[in-house]
Structure 1
Amino acid sequence: MSSDTTSREDTYVHRPGDSDIGADEPEPQGFGKRGWVLVGVVALCVLVVPGAVYIVPSLPSMAGLPYIAAMLALPMIPALALGIVAVWSMTAATRGDD
């Protein structure tokens, strides 16, 4: 018998869905509360803060801030909020918390 003939049991056949990889891991159920907080902060940073600057551009000057300082400082507030919430939500996701 030659070595190139193989029995039917020795051949590999891929069958989708017949995998034991990740069988003990639960299926993800969605964003969770931390994910929704992150979505809310992204919406705040992208829509609310720029919209407020567009609709009422004199608001910082009414608070006593010079125009240049206000236009430099205003984008930092949503950037810091987004950064803090993103790190908070990802550290919880890597620990397995909700």
Structure 2
Amino acid sequence: MTDDTYVHEPGAGRTAADSSDADSDDDGPDRRDEYPRNTPAETDAEFDWRGWLLVGAVVLAFLVVPGMLYVLPTVQEAVASLGLGLQHTYLVLPLVPAFLLGTIAVWSAVRSRAR
């Protein structure tokens, strides 16, 4: 069996004359070894209250709200006392974690662009 897969090697076909081109985005092998692109900085590897906020939103979205939707028919009287019908509650209840996750995503994106 032959190995016919393509493997991209960015600097494999270059010679010394090719490396001095003006269109090269690469600063050479020394620059690449200095700071690898795919490893996060030490400050990015922290898991603080922002991480726990995201974990809480995911737990709310995937465990709490589906659990509430599961028991919703049994607590129909309590839902009716809030002024919502059963059909409206099925539509509104999943919007809570959706808006929460959307807000966290926008906040995270704005925060990462500010750095």
* CA displacement at 1:63 relative to structure 2: 2.6
Q: Distance in 1 between matches of 2:47 and 2:114?
A: 15
Change beyond 3 A, Cα 1:30–1:57: farther
Q: TM-score, normalising length from structure 2?
A: 0.54
**How many residue pairs were aligned?**
84
* CA displacement at 1:95 relative to structure 2: 1.7
* CA displacement at 1:41 relative to structure 2: 0.4
Pick one of 64, 68, 78 that aligns with 1:62.
78
2:102 alignment partner in structure 1? 83
Relative contact order higher in (CA < 8 Å, ≥ 6 apart): 1
- Unpaired runs of 5+ in structure 1? 1-9
Structure (1/2) with the larger helix percentage: 2
Q: Distance in 2 between matches of 1:62 and 1:20?
A: 58
2:52 alignment partner in structure 1? 36
Residue type at the aligned position of 2:45: Q
Residue type at the aligned position of 1:67: L
Per-residue Cα deviation, 1:36-86 (whole angstroms, up to 9, x for no partner):
211210111111111122134333542322111111111111111111122
- Unpaired runs of 5+ in structure 2? 1-15, 20-28
Secondary structure (helix, strand or coil) at the match of 1:31 reads coil
Q: Distance in 2 between matches of 1:91 and 1:32?
A: 18
**Moved >6 Å (runs of 4+):** none
Q: Distance in 2 between matches of 1:20 and 1:71?
A: 50
Secondary structure (helix, strand or coil) at the match of 2:46 reads coil
Q: Over the residues paired in the alignment, what is the CA RMSD in angstroms?
A: 3.1
